Amino acid sequence: MLAADKIQVNKDGTRRGLSNLAVQMIAFGGSIGTGLFLGAGSTIHRTGPSIILVYLVIGIFFFLMMRAIGEMMYADPEQHTFVSFIGKYVNQRLGKFAAWSYWLELILAGMAELTAISTYVKYWFPNVPAPLIQVLFLVILSGVNLAMVSSFGKSETFLSGIKVIAILALIVIGIYLVFSHHENPAGTHASWTNITSGFTMFPNGIHQFIMAFPMAFFAFQGMEFVGITTAETKNPRRVLPKAVNQIIGRILLFYIGSLVIIMAITSWKTLNPNQSPFVQIFNLAGIPGASAVINLVVIAAAMSTLNSAIFSTGRHLYQLAQESGAKEMKPFQRVSKSGIPIVSVLFSAGMMLLAPVISSFNSLGAAFSFIASVSSDIYILVCMLTMVAHWKYRHSKDFRSDGFKMPQYRWSNPLTIAFFIAIFASLFFSSDSLLPAVGAVIWALVFYAVLRRRNVVSIDVEDNSD
């Protein structure tokens, strides 16, 4: 009871129950997932050791974006989502486009994680129907999210902790194998020279190197979840700067550290791009049941991302309801006695129930994959608009000269926007990403046009009523 009394309650009834550790683990939960544990082999196969440079560059620009988000959230820690600053400082129509698009993207991401979880669970229980597994996990994690926000923080700390332990285990085992000069079944030895031997910047051509950027970019997606926790974080102006400054270094350590170790243990050319590099390395180390261990870790990773997606979509919908004057949105403003935007969380989780439906009809799978790809591409547009909002904030009356300022924003902000534009443009140069990129542009134009028309119609109605 005493612990609960110490939790600060906001004016809207939500509670500041997240600690610094929980905030950092939420960022881990969003940005370190199956993309690393399963997809790293594919990105290594494209560029070889140059992938380290790709992750480093992307990590730096994500850090700059996080500093921009951190600065705005520090100035106004009452906001439940960083996307709200787009409507506040750019314009309301773009703000609504970003907010609804980002909410949809997170819903689709949650559905994708549900689908992944059922796939991994069937590794042990092949006869259990996938829809049943998905509903079970969604109900469990929704229940966690409907408890006090501190319960969500503890669950995310636990799930993200499993991923951190797995990565640290890989790094420690890898260092041991290198220093013991471990001989692999192929006759090669673990050595740091495996990274530099015969090094070329573009072993498969510059096109493959360029296309590795959007692949790695989406692996960092979710780091911005820090900008969704501020309104429910204890002492946000003390915790936020720490979380932002520490998270990027640790994520780069885990990502780059893992990649370096994987390529040091065995030549990157011998890795199977279709199999988890973690499984391959643990098998080389002679660890029994490596596939089962990594399967368990991947389930935890997918659960962690899904957990964060439920939390984030609920807060986004709650913020949208607060900013909307529509009667239909009023129920989504309801906050439970434990400080949770209960209707928004339940509705968002309910939308993710489409995943079991899609799993029941194989013909829907291709359509879902396409829509998810379009939504992921829209995420890049949201990143751009976030940086534009930060630039506008810096020139607004709300700017705090004593705040948590983005370093050298006059050049770092435009450079970050240019980088996001380059990432989006690169999507048009690959047959795999071309159609989703075109779809993202069409979605943006249609959504903006509809909002603009609705605004004109509402003005006409008001004029006629006069």
Count up the domains in the chain and report the number: 1
Given a cut of 60, whether residue 463 has pLDDT beyond it is no
Flag the least confident range among 4-8, 106-110, 217-221, 379-383: 4-8
Mean pLDDT confidence for 204-209: 91
Q: Where does the pLDDT of residue 149 fall: very low under 50, low under 70, confident under 90, or very high at 90 and above?
A: confident
- pLDDT (0 to 100) of residue 455: 64
Q: What pLDDT digit, counting tens, does each position of 282-325 carry?
A: 888 887 788 888 888 889 888 988 888 898 899 889 988 888 87
Gyration radius of the chain's alpha carbons: 22
How much of the chain, in percent, has pLDDT values that exceed 70?
Answer: 92
Mean pLDDT confidence for 165-186: 88
Between the alpha carbon of residue 53 and those of residues 43, 204, 222, 259, 414, the distances in Å are 12, 15, 21, 11, 21
- pLDDT (0 to 100) of residue 380: 94
Q: Where does the pLDDT of residue 398 fall: very low under 50, low under 70, confident under 90, or very high at 90 and above?
A: very high
- pLDDT (0 to 100) of residue 3: 45
How much of the chain, in percent, has pLDDT values that exceed 90?
Answer: 36
- pLDDT (0 to 100) of residue 426: 93
Nearest to 215 by CA among 72, 101, 54: 54
**Angle formed by the axes of helices 206-219 and 409-426, nearest 10°:** 110
Averaged confidence pLDDT in the chain? 85
Given a cut of 60, whether residue 459 has pLDDT beyond it is no
Q: Where does the pLDDT of residue 466 fall: very low under 50, low under 70, confident under 90, or very high at 90 and above?
A: very low
**Chain centre distance of CA 195:** 29
- pLDDT (0 to 100) of residue 462: 44
Beta carbons of 309 and 111 less than 8 angstroms apart: no
Q: Residue 189: what are its φ and ψ, rounded to 5°?
A: -120, 150
Beta carbons of 118 and 359 less than 8 angstroms apart: yes
- pLDDT (0 to 100) of residue 40: 83
Task: Provide the whole-model pTM.
Answer: 0.88
Domain limits at 124?
Answer: 2-465
Which of residues 74 and 198 earns the better pLDDT score?
A: 74
Q: Where does the pLDDT of residue 249 fall: very low under 50, low under 70, confident under 90, or very high at 90 and above?
A: confident
Mean pLDDT confidence for 439-466: 68
- pLDDT (0 to 100) of residue 248: 76
- pLDDT (0 to 100) of residue 88: 93
- pLDDT (0 to 100) of residue 28: 67
- pLDDT (0 to 100) of residue 137: 95
CATH number of 173's domain: 1.20.1740.10
Mean pLDDT confidence for 53-64: 93
Q: What pLDDT digit, counting tens, does each position of 103-142 carry?
A: 988 898 888 888 888 888 988 888 999 889 999 999 999 9
Nearest to 90 by CA among 64, 72, 108: 72
* Helix residue spans in 220-267 (DSSP H): 226-229, 236-265
